[in-house]
Structure formats: C-alpha cells, structure tokens
C-alpha cells in the first residue's frame, strides 16, 4: 500500500487506498473553485408563523470567502444581538463558496442586514436553534487547477470503485483539519485530558511550537515551555509573550496567572477557560485519532471495509435521509456473529448497513474477532480504555460508532478537471480529494 503524507500519519492516517501517483494540482485558486452546499434536513414553519412559538428565523446564506464563525459574528454585530443567538448546522471552509443554514433568535426577516460576500434569504421559522449536525450531508463541486498528471484520475477512480465493492468509496477518515490544519495538536491535548494529564494538556496547546507557524508564534510558545520548566513559573511573562490574536492560548495563560498554575486543578481550570465546544473538541479529536488508527490498521491487515467479518459491529441506514444520500444511523447497531455474517454482508452490499469502528467513550462495547483485536490494540498503544472517558464537565464522553467506509456519487469532468460528489454529514471531502491529488494535506 502507498504510504500517506507524513503530516497525515501524524493524525493516524497511514495509507492511501489507490497506489498511483495522483493527479497533483491546486485547490481554491479562487473561492468559486470550491463550492459546498448543505443537503438540508430542517423543514421550517412559514415566515408568518407565531414568533412566540417559533422564535428562531431560519436563513439560507450563500457565502463567498467567509469563515462560518466570522460570518456568524458579523451577522450578530450587524443585528446588534449576542453572538450566542446565531447558530448553524455545519462549519465550512473560508476559501470557498458555501451555501448553508443559520438560525437567528428573535429577529424578523426585515432585520437581516446586507453583508459583503453574502446572499442571505429567510426561509421560515423554527422552534429551536440549529445544532451541529442538523443537516443530511454536503454536496461538493471542486475544480483542480494545473494538475500535472490529469490522466491519473482514471486509475484512482478504478481503485476507489474496487475498494467500495463497485461504487467509489474511501475510508471514512477524519480529515487533517479535524486536528488543526497548520498545527495538528488537538488530539494530543485530548489524549492528555483523557489520561488525566491536565498540565501536559495545557502545554500541548499553549506551548508545543510547530514549524508551520510564524516565527513570532513559535517564539511565544517556546517562552511558555521555558516558563513551565522553571521551579517558580512566571506565567505573567508567558502571557505577555503570547500574541493577541491567539485568544484561546491567552485565556488559558490568564487562568494560570490567576490561579498560580502549580497544581493539576489549576491546569484543568485553564482548559475550562476556553469555550465549551473547544473543550469537547479536544476529547473528540482524541477519539477521532484513535478511529483513524483503527482504520489504518484494518487496511494494513487487509480486512474489508465494504463488508463485515465476524466480530464487526454494523449500523443501518438512516431511513429519514434523502433518498439519493446514504446516511448511516449509528443508533441502530448489530454485532456480526458467525451465523449472521452472510445476511449482514448482503445488507452491506445493498447499501442498507455499514461496518463501524468506535469513537471510544464510557458506553463503548468493543468488537470481537479480528476487528476487536484491532480496537484493543490501538487503545492499548494509546494507553486508553473506555472508562477513561468518564471525565468532568464538557470533557466527558459516552462515545458512539462511525461507519468506516463512505461511498459517494462521484463524477469527474475533464476540462477543466473537476470533481463533484455528495457526502453524508460528518464525512470529510478531504478523504476523497487526498486520493486524487496526493499532495500535502495543508493544500487540500
């Protein structure tokens, strides 16, 4: 098997499915080269519905070169409301044209502002704010600029069809951006958190300089590590050294200044100084890293992804998803036994079931047979166990399972070379693009 890029191996992705060299090329030369449209899963009430019963305005926004978080902030500022009253179903990349849903609490359609690079349309009213995952999936239209080996697209496509049992498919990797595109450390922080290593978790985030960062940032992180190594840490000096735009790092350091930064509880308080969703992201990234490692080991051992073997745990299709988008329902699980393996295999072949691996948490039941051996070997190597995820506050996680294969309706246009495909919610376009381009993951 072809080895993955070194930066991908840092986040648990060890191999490519296709052995060819890839087409190369560049993405996002212009925002219009990378288009993403949410496959919506929310049906609003009419705009005339009672705002007392339906206080959230549902809007569809087509954004050009907007980061999702930045747009939410600009929208709330223009409306003169709290940022907490704006919610969305999925975060999208900045250098793109994205079409996605937002909910805005307590405003009328006439209140919506005009913002540069944004087309905003009021769709109706809903009774609650959007939550992460309130979408069926995403549809992508992506142009590849200047590919030096355009003809390689055919061999990659053939490999993905073979891997998916006749339909283009890839391992359902968590993409590099899950862990930090330029500095993939969120899983390192999360692994320390799950092991109860609060000091090490803070320093992995605030210190731990990366070569991909600007010199000033690297210097600031090195200062943090020097301060932390002292017998009497001068946390105010570390805070003074940290650039103002690194707000989360400064929040952690400010907490250490306030509480002294000497005991484990001080470092846990520093982690809790950042927003709750970032706290959860740390643990989620650790789970994602373990999942990637499990998929890599399954590839290495030559176990199939498109059909189960004895010991696997499968989930079934989400019956509420759009008819043309196959979405796994990980609340419907079944363990594959010797007497059921042929029946479940047929379900997988027909697109009704999916092999899974765990996103480990306190309620995780590990698989059996060879899949269970893989799961236990990865957790042992990481010094983790399901019970370790019984953690305080926002760090706690019961876990779930995730399909290990994601199939797609991939089509290829030749001039210019473009890829169009849809993916269910939670799956990464980079899992598909990496196979075709085989470039540095920071360029995807």
Q: What is the mean pLDDT of residues 176-187?
A: 90
pLDDT of residue 422: 95
Q: What is the mean pLDDT of residues 205-231?
A: 95
| Same-domain pairing of 269 and 296 | no
pLDDT of residue 364: 96
- Asked if pLDDT for residue 280 goes beyond 80, the answer is yes
3-state SS assignment for residue 267 = helix
Domain region containing 200 = 186-274
Q: Cα dihedral sign for 169, 174, 177, 181?
A: negative
Q: Are 354 and 327 in contact (CB under 8 A)?
A: no
| Same-domain pairing of 262 and 229 | yes
Return the CATH number at 132.
3.30.70.3160
- Asked if pLDDT for residue 94 goes beyond 90, the answer is no
pLDDT of residue 186: 96
| Same-domain pairing of 131 and 102 | yes
Q: Note whether residue 21 is domain-resident.
A: no
| Same-domain pairing of 115 and 207 | no
Question: What is the percentage of the chain residues whose pLDDT exceeds 70?
Answer: 100
Q: Are 168 and 433 in contact (CB under 8 A)?
A: no
pLDDT of residue 437: 97
| Same-domain pairing of 122 and 195 | no
Retrieve residue 70's tokens: 């930045």
| Same-domain pairing of 44 and 93 | yes
pLDDT of residue 104: 97
Q: Note whether residue 282 is domain-resident.
A: no
Q: What is the 3-state secondary structure (H, E, C) of 130-181?
A: CCCCCEEEEEEEEECECCCCHHHHHHHHHHHHHHCCCCCEEECCCCHHHHCC
Cα separation, 434 vs 65, whole angstroms: 22
Q: Are 266 and 244 in contact (CB under 8 A)?
A: no
Express each pLDDT in 99-154 by its tens digit.
999 999 999 999 999 999 999 999 999 999 999 889 999 999 999 999 999 999 99
Least confident of 55-59, 135-139, 326-330, 343-347: 326-330
CA angle, corner 46, sides to 40 and 48, nearest 5?
150
DSSP state of 145: B
Among 274, 309, 325, which residue terminates a domain? 274
pLDDT interval class at 440 (50, 70, 90): very high
pLDDT of residue 320: 81
Q: Note whether residue 233 is domain-resident.
A: yes
Express each pLDDT in 4-18 by its tens digit.
999 999 999 999 999
| Same-domain pairing of 37 and 116 | yes
Compute CA distances 198 → 178, 201, 219, 238, 247, whole Å.
21, 5, 23, 18, 19
Cα separation, 208 vs 433, whole angstroms: 29
Q: Which residues contact 379 (CB under 8 A, 6 or more apart)?
A: 290, 360, 366, 385
**Which candidate, 177, 386, 188, 354, places its Cα nearest to that of 286?**
188
pLDDT of residue 20: 87
pLDDT of residue 181: 77
Q: What is the mean pLDDT of residues 207-211?
A: 94
pLDDT interval class at 369 (50, 70, 90): very high
Compute CA distances 413 → 170, 336, 396, whole Å.
20, 40, 45
Q: Which residues contact 351 (CB under 8 A, 6 or more apart)?
A: 317, 326, 407
| Same-domain pairing of 196 and 301 | no
* Torsions phi, psi for 143 (to 5 deg): -100, 135
Cα separation, 405 vs 391, whole angstroms: 30
pLDDT interval class at 98 (50, 70, 90): very high
Beta strands in 144-297 (DSSP E): 169-171
- Asked if pLDDT for residue 25 goes beyond 90, the answer is yes
CA angle, corner 16, sides to 11 and 20, nearest 5?
145
Q: Note whether residue 366 is domain-resident.
A: yes
Question: What is the percentage of the chain residues whose pLDDT exceeds 90?
Answer: 91
Which active-site residues does the annotation give? 93
Strands 86-88 and 97-105: what pairing?
antiparallel
Q: What is the distance, to the nearest Å, from the Cα of residue 92 to the centroid of all Cα atoms in its chain?
A: 10
| Domain count within the chain | 3
The total number of residues shown for the chain amounts to 444
pLDDT of residue 59: 97
Q: What is the mean pLDDT of residues 58-77?
A: 95
Cα separation, 74 vs 66, whole angstroms: 10
Cα separation, 14 vs 293, whole angstroms: 8
Q: Note whether residue 284 is domain-resident.
A: no
Dmax over CA atoms of the chain, in Å, equals 65
pLDDT of residue 322: 79
Q: Note whether residue 13 is domain-resident.
A: no
Q: What is the mean pLDDT of residues 351-366?
A: 96
Retrieve residue 20's tokens: 């060819």
Cα separation, 312 vs 298, whole angstroms: 12
| Same-domain pairing of 202 and 226 | yes
Return the CATH number at 260.
1.10.1510.30
Mean residue pLDDT across the chain: 95
pLDDT of residue 132: 86
Return the CATH number at 387.
3.30.2350.20
Q: Are 213 and 183 in contact (CB under 8 A)?
A: yes
Q: Are 191 and 283 in contact (CB under 8 A)?
A: no
Retrieve residue 126's tokens: 């809903």
| Same-domain pairing of 44 and 133 | yes
| Same-domain pairing of 263 and 330 | no
Cα separation, 32 vs 98, whole angstroms: 9
Express each pLDDT in 371-412 by its tens digit.
999 999 999 999 999 999 999 999 999 999 999 999 998 999
* Torsions phi, psi for 394 (to 5 deg): -75, -5
| Same-domain pairing of 37 and 85 | yes
Q: What is the mean pLDDT of residues 214-242?
A: 96
Q: Note whether residue 412 is domain-resident.
A: no
Q: Note whether residue 25 is domain-resident.
A: no
Q: Are 169 and 422 in contact (CB under 8 A)?
A: no
- Asked if pLDDT for residue 321 goes beyond 90, the answer is no
Retrieve residue 292's tokens: 């990637």
pLDDT interval class at 177 (50, 70, 90): confident
């Amino acid at each position: 098997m072809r080895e993955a890029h070194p930066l991908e191996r840092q986040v648990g992705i060890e191999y490519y499915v296709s052995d060819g060299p890839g087409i190369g090329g560049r993405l996002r030369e212009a925002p219009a080269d990378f288009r993403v449209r949410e496959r919506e899963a929310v049906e609003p009430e009419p705009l005339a519905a009672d705002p007392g019963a339906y206080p959230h305005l549902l809007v569809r926004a087509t954004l050009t070169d907007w980061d999702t978080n930045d747009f939410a902030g600009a929208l709330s500022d223009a409306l003169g409301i709290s940022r907490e009253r704006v919610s969305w179903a999925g975060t999208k990349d900045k250098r793109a044209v994205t079409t996605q849903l937002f909910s805005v609490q307590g405003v009328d359609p006439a209140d919506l502002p005009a913002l540069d690079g944004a087309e905003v349309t009021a769709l109706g009213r809903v009774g609650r704010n959007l939550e992460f995952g309130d979408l069926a999936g995403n549809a992508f239209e992506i142009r590849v600029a200047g590919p030096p080996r355009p003809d390689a697209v055919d061999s990659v496509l053939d490999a993905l069809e073979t891997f998916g049992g006749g339909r283009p498919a890839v391992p359902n990797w968590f993409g590099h951006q899950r862990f930090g595109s330029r500095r993939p450390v969120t899983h390192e922080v999360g692994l320390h958190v799950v092991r109860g290593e609060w000091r090490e978790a803070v320093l992995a985030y605030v210190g731990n300089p990366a070569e991909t960062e600007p010199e000033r940032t690297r210097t600031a992180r090195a200062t943090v590590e020097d301060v932390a190594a002292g017998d009497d840490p001068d946390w105010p000096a570390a805070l003074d050294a940290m650039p103002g735009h690194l707000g989360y790092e400064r929040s952690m350091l400010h907490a250490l200044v306030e509480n002294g930064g000497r005991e484990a509880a001080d470092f846990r308080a520093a982690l809790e100084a950042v927003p709750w969703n970032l706290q959860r992201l740390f643990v989620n990234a650790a789970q994602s890293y373990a999942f990637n490692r499990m998929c890599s080991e399954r590839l290495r051992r030559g176990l199939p992804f498109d059909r189960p073997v004895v010991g696997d745990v499968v989930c079934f299709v989400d019956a509420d998803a759009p008819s043309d988008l196959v979405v796994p329902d990980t609340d419907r699980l079944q363990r594959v036994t010797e007497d059921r393996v042929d029946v479940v295999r047929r379900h997988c072949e027909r697109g009704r079931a999916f092999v899974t691996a765990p996103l480990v948490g306190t309620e995780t039941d590990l698989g059996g047979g060879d899949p269970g051996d893989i799961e236990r070997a990865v957790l042992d190597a990481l010094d983790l166990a399901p019970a370790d995820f019984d953690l305080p506050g926002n760090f706690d996680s019961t876990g779930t399972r995730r399909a290990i294969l994601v199939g797609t309706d991939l089509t290829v246009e030749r001039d210019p070379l473009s890829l169009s495909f849809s993916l269910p919610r939670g799956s990464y376009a980079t899992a598909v693009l990496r196979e075709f381009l085989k470039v540095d993951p920071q360029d995807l």
